Amino acid sequence: MIVSRMVCLFMVYSVMGWVYETTFCTVKGGKWENRGFLYGPVCPIYGTGAVAISLVVQALQTFDVELRAWWVFIVAVIGSAVLEYVTSWVLEKLFHALWWDYSNLPLNLNGRISLFTGLGFGVAGILVVYLIAPFTEKAMSYVSPMVAEVCALVLISLFMVDLTLTVSALLHFDRIVMQAENTFNSKMEKIVDHAVNQTAGMFQDIAAKGLEARVNMLGGFAKSAVRRVNTFRYKEEAKEKLDMLLHMIKGRKGHGNE
């Protein structure tokens, strides 16, 4: 029952995080932005953070520790920083991509975390502990153990399907990028060997044609997953081509059968 409740709460908090992220970025950018790593309306990092701080608070209360708001704030700031940094690092190592980048904010660390966002998550932690968690946990108390078990199984199954599709699409995209990079380098070597005086415009045309062909190879799932990427972190010399590829994919949103 406890595990089922935690799974259900994790999904509820993940959906809340997605709603917040999507609303904030849509209003800020002036256009619709489907935020998050997965296809579904969930941001697992929010669910993980909310469940984690709720468990910490419950553990403290079990030992009759007097809970203070500023303790919750500090725990949320530190916990969110660790969670964001580790998640960002793992995603970059797996997919050479980042779904958020704080490089333009002051007091940031490698663009993965920043003091400004950390303080925001500190405030969010207080809201979760004193406002959101009591409401959601009370609502869960009205759900029978059997219903909670069924809901948890259904939700975790959907989550795993979504995760599998997303990871598969991103790994497929990563392979396409590497193939495009190898093809481009091969063509460039031939050009340099036979025509040293070729113009930079010629080089860009070759790069664009190669990437255009690779974009056509991507399925709808892969394109949808890549659109949610904020930036790439491949080798520096590939950055320009990757930006071009990401622009092509995002520019095709809503066209054809995608």
Over residues 74-110, the pLDDT tens digits come to 999 999 999 999 999 998 888 877 888 899 999 999 9
* 231-232 and 113-114 strand pairing: unpaired
Residue 232 has pLDDT above 60, yes or no: yes
CB 127 within 8 A of CB 99: no
Q: What band does 257 get if pLDDT is binned at 50, 70 and 90?
A: very low
CB 34 within 8 A of CB 99: no
CA distance 254 to 258: 7
pLDDT of 135-181, one tens digit each?
998 898 888 889 999 999 999 999 999 888 888 877 776 666 655 55
Mean per-residue pLDDT for 206-217? 52
Q: H helices within 43-144, ranges in order?
A: 44-62, 69-95, 115-127, 133-141
Tokens at 11, concatenated: 């999904």
Tokens at 112, concatenated: 């993965």
Per-chain mean pLDDT for the chain:
78
The distance from CA 121 to its chain's CA centroid, rounded to whole angstroms, is: 16
- The three-state secondary structure class of 191 is helix
Per the DSSP assignment, residues forming a β-bridge with 129 are none
CA distance 140 to 151: 11
Mean per-residue pLDDT for 19-28? 88
Kindly report the number of other CB atoms within 10 A of residue 95's CB atom: 23
pLDDT of 192 reads 46
Phi-psi region of 108 (alpha: psi -120 to 50; beta: other; left: phi over 0): beta
Whole-model pTM? 0.74
Q: What band does 254 get if pLDDT is binned at 50, 70 and 90?
A: very low
Kindly report the number of other CB atoms within 10 A of residue 200's CB atom: 7
| Closest of 18, 23, 78 to residue 46, by C-alpha | 18
* Sequential DSSP letters for 134-155: HHHHHHHHTS-HHHHHHHHHHH
Residue 203 has pLDDT above 50, yes or no: no
CA distance 200 to 85: 38
